[in-house]
Structure 1
């Protein structure tokens, strides 16, 4: 795939209209020439992460999705329920590019030495608008992949690996020694399990299905609790007591799970004995909500004393908080363990046009374990690579 002589390329866009309609399409956009400290990357792989789907579909009801347009330029429309329009107010009638991260080859570079050093390199990149054939980015938003690594192997080098490492780093910085993670059989959860096993950190994995529990145990996980089991609360309390976990990261967001985790932490701490206090244990228990797989309200009963916290956790805010030097340490670990700890697996590789097929959308929008999709913006085009 070479740059069009007109220096235009395709980019996937998401538009929510004031009329209450979502429109997904492929737009022709100008391919910029890189500035002094920028590079132009031919994107060859970009994952469909849950965070990407949030921007891609907004509050639309994708069961109403309909396809139109042509095979090369498909268009998908869907209705946004009236109740969801308020949360979309900030993006109405604004065509938005999608895709947090990706990987590809640097095909043009600016005049600076740092930019020129990347020319021809395979890099992982972050910065939005990755469902595009080309992206122009600052040098510091690129991560050079190890020799021999493909764009597909490096496409998920930022969001999931740095989130998993960020959870462990947050645990350490806040004085905890073990942690709990929900939706633990996800691509991210499997990475976190590998990190904790390698680093000797106690981890309690919470899943929803027995096959997910079996998957993690086959990968060496020690503590796996099935939220669908009738003995879940007892199992979770036992696992928390065994690890000493006092911090949790919850991908579900809604429902009762966050409160249940705090309750089990308090129950585990009460086993240690000591003087009774009607205010509960003095050990701080923390749950961070970092996802929204469950869109219902977050519910909890305050039966876990007074030393607790519940809040939000976002990767990009965390990286800003720890600073560039500390963030770079985490990034270099990702590079060093790209094909082991941080290896990602995809069920399908699709083109930009295929990403706008309603039947394909119905599959990847399930966000099911083992159904992670990868977009190759050059797929199906003459001279495409990847």
Structure 2
């Protein structure tokens, strides 16, 4: 990379925030981090944009934690471990190609000061790295954690209640497609979309589920959508809603859910507060609205459970838990990448390449 010729071994190029909000996002030179004991230094090869990364750059997590600026965003990525800070696990990973997640810090009140994956180098805890198989590219492996593990966690939400049907909002998203693949063999999936092209896309992607009645796709822009939604939910005895839009849509759907239904809110694609909730529907029908954050779900698991989950994700990374990649950007063009991603969020992953995009 030509621009790196002017850097010494203590420096790197990175995207970083100087304060809350995307308007404070810069690309430039930062000090290269050093791994402590139990940590590794990774030469980052690829990192995806996720909605949670956008929320971070908008400062939404700043209400719950104390971010130290300049701060490099990016919750997950892939690369090669080039240095160990000490410890058996860190030593074992030295030289290995890995998927990794940002160094774990307290998002509920603590300091957030270790940079993320939108940089040429990053440090993280050795236990937050998973070696990649030789046939998995860096671009594919970069999306190992956020979407696949969230999909497994939300699948668990449905299965632990022995649900036979589930509603997914933003059904054409990469994450919703993963959940559909995990559930549609034995659970009826009712997906909502906002474009007819997205309905057609899901019909083509899941022909078997469509034919056996395990997939129903509703367009929120259709006249009479809410009534159709209510009738479909009733016909399928559906009491689980996995919701990622928030805003008025969440409130409207929640208010027509059957008695003792559970709504799990795991995103806010509308960037709006949940609204238009009928309080008497919640009271009379004993409805439950709860949040899901991947970090909290992972922290609730014991070591054996986490090993099982990681093996499951690793084994399904190139099929049921795979992500489509629609475009790659040089990290220095991160602002263009964000603009494209926000206009095409259901079209596939946008990958940032800290060392440039291969032609």
TM-score interval, normalised by the smaller of the two chains:
0.7 to 0.9
Aligned to 2:264: 288
Of the structure 1 ranges 21-30 and 241-250, higher mean CA displacement relative to structure 2 is found in: 21-30
Aligned to 2:110: none
**1:162-241 matches, cutoff 5 A:** 162-198=149-185, 200-220=186-206, 221=209, 222-241=215-234
Is residue 14 from structure 1 mapped to residue 23 from structure 2 by the alignment?
no
Tell me: higher relative CO, structure 1 or 2? Use CA pairs within 8 A at least 6 residues apart.
1
Whole-angstrom CA distance in 1 between matches of 2:317 and 2:267: 24
Aligned partners of 1:15 and 1:92 also within 8 Å: no
Residues 302-326 of structure 1, C-alpha deviation per residue, up to 9 Å, x if partnerless?
Answer: 3463321112221111121233332
Whole-angstrom CA distance in 1 between matches of 2:237 and 2:131: 38
**1:88-167 matches, cutoff 5 A:** 94-127=69-102, 129-167=116-154
User: Which stretches in structure 2 are left out of the alignment for 5+ residues?
Assistant: 104-115, 210-214
**1:358-377 matches, cutoff 5 A:** 360-370=337-347, 372-377=349-354
The structural deviation recorded for 1:188 is: 0.6
Aligned partners of 1:258 and 1:287 also within 8 Å: no
Aligned partners of 1:289 and 1:313 also within 8 Å: yes
The structural deviation recorded for 1:53 is: 0.9
Whole-angstrom CA distance in 1 between matches of 2:228 and 2:289: 22
Is residue 330 from structure 1 mapped to residue 323 from structure 2 by the alignment?
no
Bigger-Rg structure (1/2): 1
Aligned partners of 1:43 and 1:102 also within 8 Å: yes
Residues 147-168 of structure 1, C-alpha deviation per residue, up to 9 Å, x if partnerless?
Answer: 3211101111111111111111
RMSD: 2.8
After superposition, the Cα gap between the structure-2 partners of 1:324 and 1:179, relative to the gap in structure 1 and judged at 3 Å, is farther
Whole-angstrom CA distance in 1 between matches of 2:317 and 2:219: 29
User: How many residues of Structure 1 are paired with residues of Structure 2 in the alignment?
Assistant: 333
SS at match of 1:96: coil
SS at match of 1:248: strand
**1:63-102 matches, cutoff 5 A:** 94-102=69-77
Aligned to 2:241: 248
> TM-score, normalized by length of structure 1?
0.78
Aligned to 1:307: 286
SS at match of 2:144: coil
Aligned to 1:356: 335
Aligned to 2:56: 55
Whole-angstrom CA distance in 2 between matches of 1:306 and 1:261: 10
Whole-angstrom CA distance in 1 between matches of 2:216 and 2:170: 14
Of 275, 282, 285, which aligns to 1:298? 275
Of the structure 1 ranges 123-132 and 322-331, higher mean CA displacement relative to structure 2 is found in: 322-331
SS at match of 1:364: helix
Indicate the structure with greater helix content: 2
SS at match of 1:171: helix
Aligned partners of 1:39 and 1:110 also within 8 Å: yes
